[in-house]
Amino acid sequence: MKKLLMIAAVFLLAITAACSQDSEGTEDKKSEETNTEETGTENETSEEELKVALLNFQSEVVDVLQAHQGPFNEFQASKETYLDEEAEEKPTTEELEALKKAAEEEGPKAAEAIRSISIPSELSKYEEEMKTALEDAAASYEKRAESLTIEASEDAQAEADELFASFEEKMGKAFEDLGLTAPSFSAELS
């Protein structure tokens, strides 16, 4: 009987020890899962913060572009009216020349303002691409101002348009990388 009790005690002890280790393993797994979930939440939060920083930066860039786009839009609209043979009220050549001069003067100002935009530290991962994108936008405004003509010409603004398209493409990469739709800056300027 003593042997039977001893075997039962050893068996009970073994079961208790096994349950104890299993319980600790479960707690370790739960602890690891909790840590993983917290880390995942932190990563999600930082990605969300990155998205917010990118969208805020986009707004800043759009504000700068819009602040300098007016003279170009005014000249282009007046030029189209001037060249439209069916338009009833056309601007005079002098008026169109004045609008052209205002746009030409705005080009370097726009380029300087674009080059002075600082990229937020949160977007350091995309800084080089964004710097070259902003340089393309600045060069686009300089080229646009240099190539303004009153005459009808399809090629006059082609290089400026290509530079601006390059700017949009390079800026769009950060948005696409974060699962966002790449913005159309040109649509914001019409």
Burial class (CB in 10 A: 0-12, 13-18, 19+), 23: exposed
Tell me the DSSP string of 138-173. Answer: HHHHHHHHHT--SS--SSTTHHHHHHHHHHHHHHHH
Tell me the DSSP string of 121-143. Answer: GGGGGGHHHHHHHHHHHHHHHHH
* Domains of the chain, residue spans: 60-117+124-190
How far apart are the C-alpha atoms of 145 and 130, rounded to whole Å? 23
How far apart are the C-alpha atoms of 61 and 67, rounded to whole Å? 10
Q: How far apart are the first and last CA of the chain?
A: 98
DSSP 3-state of 189: coil
The stretch 128-157 carries a mean pLDDT of: 93
pLDDT score recorded for residue 148: 95
pLDDT score recorded for residue 84: 92
The pLDDT tens digits of the residues spanning 2-45 come to 443 444 444 444 444 455 554 455 455 444 544 444 444 444 44
The pLDDT tens digits of the residues spanning 92-119 come to 999 999 999 999 999 999 999 999 999 9
CA–CA–CA angle 135, 141, 145 (5° rounding): 145
What is the distance of C-alpha 64 from the center of its chain? Answer: 15
**Residue 178: Cβ within 10 Å count:** 15
| Residue 132 pLDDT > 50 | yes
pTM: 0.75
Q: Which of 1-5, 69-73, 90-94, 141-145 is least confident?
A: 1-5
pLDDT score recorded for residue 127: 96
